Amino acid sequence: MGTREAKTVSINLKINGANHNLQIEPRVSLLDALREYIGLTGTKKGCDQGACGACTVLVDGERINSCLAFAVQYQGREITTIEGVANDDQLHALQAAFIESDGFQCGYCTPGQICSAIAMVAEFKQGMPSAVSGGALDWEFTDAEIKERMSGNLCRCGAYVGIVEAIRDTFGKEAAR
């Protein structure tokens, strides 16, 4: 068999409000498209197998693991990365809280933690139950809920206490039921 030409496709991705035209192979993950093709290196590759959450980005406000996503599948969607979370020069309240609460050491999991937490609170407010809520019809924004809902984001530095505190301080009031 001779060499096969790597077939590429032309796609358009909308990232943080801006359109990006790419010519890529279908096998390129959304994570690699962001980092290697668009130059948005805030989103990190921790495990490349959907086990660590460092690659978490938002698609139409919902959190996903971009390492398990093929870029070609995400045309026409509103994608938000860590670069799009702040408001120009003003940090998102959660970003400020991470600094205040010592929510990171090496910072590698941090973009994924922040994107995940923002979407997690949206899920909570929309009434998404969790394994901790069980069959209950109502539940509070407790630390147990935060930890369960954030279980898809690992931190090898062990900054979990600060991460939970930052999330609790930032969103506790608006998540209160």
Partner 1 sequence: MKNFAYARAENVAAAIQSITLNSNAKFLAGGTNLVDLMRENIEQPDQLVDVTALPLSQVEELPGGGVRIGALVKNSHLAANQIIRERYPVLSEAILNGASGQIRNMATTSGNLMQRTRCYYFYDGAARCNKREPGAGCDALEGFNRYHAILGASEHCIATHPSDMCVALAALDATVQVTGRDGERSIPLVDFHRLPEDTPQIDTNLRADELITSVDLPALPAAKNSMYRKVRDRASYAFAIISVAGVLEVEDDTIKNVRLALGGVAHKPWRAFAAEKLLMGAQVNEETFKAAAAAELEPARGYKYNSFKIELAQRAIVTVLKTLTKKEDSK
Site residues (CB under 8 A) for partner 1?
Answer: 4, 6-7, 9, 25-27, 29, 48-50, 53, 56, 62-65, 67-70, 72-73, 116, 119-120, 123, 126-131, 133-135, 147-153
Q: Which CB, 100 or 125, lies closer to partner 1?
A: 125
Q: How far is the CB of 105 from partner 1 (least distance, A)?
A: 21
Please list, in sequence order, all residues whose beta carbon lies within 8 angstroms of the beta carbon of residue 51, skipping any fewer than 6 positions away.
Answer: 154
**Interaxial angle between packed helices 93-100 and 160-175, expressed in degrees from 0 to 180 and rounded to the nearest 10:** 140
User: How far is residue 170 from each of residues 42, 65, 128, 174, measured CA to CA in Å?
Assistant: 22, 23, 19, 8
Q: Which CB, 29 or 170, lies closer to partner 1?
A: 29
Other residues' Cβ atoms within 10 Å of the Cβ of residue 153: 23
Q: Which CB, 99 or 151, lies closer to partner 1?
A: 151
Q: How far is the CB of 62 from partner 1 (least distance, A)?
A: 5
Please list, in sequence order, all residues whose beta carbon lies within 8 angstroms of the beta carbon of residue 171, skipping any fewer than 6 positions away.
Answer: 94, 117, 121, 141
Q: How far is the CB of 153 from partner 1 (least distance, A)?
A: 8
Q: How far is the CB of 89 from partner 1 (least distance, A)?
A: 29
User: How far is residue 113 from each of residues 44, 59, 149, 159, measured CA to CA in Å?
Assistant: 11, 15, 11, 11
Q: How far is the CB of 167 from partner 1 (least distance, A)?
A: 13
One DSSP character per residue, 68-98 reads GSBGGGGTTSEEE-GGGTSBTTBPPHHHHHH
Q: Which CB, 56 or 101, lies closer to partner 1?
A: 56
Q: Which CB, 92 or 147, lies closer to partner 1?
A: 147
